Amino acid sequence: MPTPSAPPLRERFPTLQNTTYLVSHSMGAPPMGARAALLGYWDAWAADGPETWERWLTEIAAIADNLGSIFGAPAGTVSLVPNVSLAMAAIASALDYPAERCDVVIEALQFPTVVYVWKAWERFGARIRIVPSENGRTMSTDRLCSAIDERTAAVVLSHAAYVSGAVIDVPAIVARCRETGALFVLDAYQTTGVVPYDAQALGVDVVVGGSHKWLCGGPGCGFVYVRPGLRERFAPALTGWMGHAEPFAFEGAPVRLARGAHRYNTGTPTVPGYLAARAGHDAILEFGVANVREHNVALTNMLADGALARGFSVPTPLAPAARTGWIGMDFPQAARVTDALITERVFVDYRPGCGIRVGPHFYTNADDIAKFFSVVDALRTRM
């Protein structure tokens, strides 16, 4: 098992040659394979023009299955989408909102785009219920479950809060949704690739996420998984020609939606974004998500210890099982220090109420953590 001082596959990420890269929770480092995929995309386009569509669509289906295997999704159950906003909108458009079951439960710590999308469905009868956090950092399982009842159409929760890294109790939410008949939509953008989970074993109805964080796939490759046995029950109103049963038949009305994962496709796919993401997915699978997690926990423990030793506040849960893959640390000069760190090519980010977010990945080593604290200490003495 690799140690924090000997990360694997590091040579595939040239960005690491001139940066201390600790921002994988926001955007994973780009693998060289992504560059090759983008060049291959251009070459195919230049050589074959529209005749390359069949090849591209075959590759996209393979990328979707490959990505799904990271979180236990069977082949044929994952569809690629440009972003989570579109994925959420497709799911929202598939539901009806009768007065007796129109509530959509969302937690207060959810990323804003999710709230924006679901709030838009209020004009179609949805009623958005925001469950507050007791402390602005974590969500009470009891409070979430109490908000879910027979009037709930959908429960839309983030696997981990972007403001603190705190994870939710997914099995408890699944059980409550089963009791009440609510659809459970899990936003796993903050965890996929760093926190092992099995969507099928958990029984989650829908999982959405994207590739540009822990999956090191860059922007433009989101995903949506719908539980087998549930997919064909819904007919998304947000659709397009790629959601048709036979898109190249170019049929008019009535619309025949595809069966399986393609049912949630919309228009022309963003091919380069999907192709570029494959190399990052492959790296995660090659190392193994369980190994990524073990490596990450060792490094985030080092970060938490170092932050506490310096008297910083740490909003992230200290218990590894209660957090995703990054540590937040706050102190009076944190915002200014973040800007200075980036100038020094120590890549982190800052969020109000959280402080500096530091996210090591499988390609990070203990020297990177030491470098981070060394630069922070030096900067603080000058401020």
Q: For the chain, how many structural domains are there in total?
A: 2
Question: How do beta strands 346-347 and 20-21 pair?
Answer: parallel
Task: Give the CATH number of the domain where residue 325 resides.
Answer: 3.90.1150.10
In this structure, the answer to whether residues 279 and 301 fall within a common structural domain is no
CB 330 within 8 A of CB 315: yes
In this structure, the answer to whether residues 218 and 334 fall within a common structural domain is no
247 falls within a domain: yes
4 falls within a domain: no
Rounded mean pLDDT, 251-275: 91
In this structure, the answer to whether residues 109 and 230 fall within a common structural domain is yes
At residue 79 the predicted structure's pLDDT band, cuts being 50, 70 and 90, is very high
Nearest to 141 by CA among 169, 107, 181, 104: 169
Q: Which pLDDT tens digit goes with each residue over 286-325?
A: 999 999 999 999 999 999 999 999 999 999 999 999 999 9
In this structure, the answer to whether residues 137 and 238 fall within a common structural domain is yes
In this structure, the answer to whether residues 235 and 166 fall within a common structural domain is yes
Listed in order, strand segments (DSSP E) in the chain are 20-21, 78-81, 103-107, 127-131, 152-158, 183-187, 206-210, 222-226, 327-329, 346-347, 349-351, 355-358
At residue 1 the predicted structure's pLDDT band, cuts being 50, 70 and 90, is very low
Residue where a domain terminates, one of 251, 285, 319: 285
Residue where a domain terminates, one of 263, 285, 307: 285
144 falls within a domain: yes
Q: What mean pLDDT value characterizes the chain?
A: 95
In this structure, the answer to whether residues 205 and 309 fall within a common structural domain is no
In this structure, the answer to whether residues 137 and 205 fall within a common structural domain is yes
At residue 247 the predicted structure's pLDDT band, cuts being 50, 70 and 90, is confident
CB 338 within 8 A of CB 312: no
Q: Return the pLDDT at 4.
A: 59
Q: Which pLDDT tens digit goes with each residue over 206-222?
A: 999 999 999 999 999 99
CA distance 268 to 217: 20
107 falls within a domain: yes
Output the CA torsion 173→174→176→178 (10° steps): 160
Q: What is the per-residue burial (b if ≥16 Cβ within 10 Å, else e) of 242-279?
A: bbbeebeeeeeeeeebbebbbbbbbeebbbbbbbbbbb
Instruction: Give pTM, 2 decimals.
Output: 0.94
In this model, does residue 8 exceed pLDDT 80?
no
CB 224 within 8 A of CB 86: no
Residue where a domain terminates, one of 237, 265, 285: 285
Q: Which pLDDT tens digit goes with each residue over 89-125?
A: 999 999 999 999 999 999 999 999 999 999 999 999 9
2 falls within a domain: no
In this structure, the answer to whether residues 210 and 240 fall within a common structural domain is yes
Burial of residue 291 (number of CB atoms within 10 Å: 0-12, 13-18, 19+): middle
In this structure, the answer to whether residues 46 and 152 fall within a common structural domain is yes
3 falls within a domain: no
- Position of tokens 């974590």? 138
- Its domain, for residue 45, covers 34-285
Q: Which pLDDT tens digit goes with each residue over 55-69?
A: 999 999 999 999 999
Would you say how long the chain is, in residues? 383
CB 193 within 8 A of CB 360: no
In this structure, the answer to whether residues 265 and 318 fall within a common structural domain is no
* Other Cβ atoms within 10 Å of 317 Cβ, number: 20
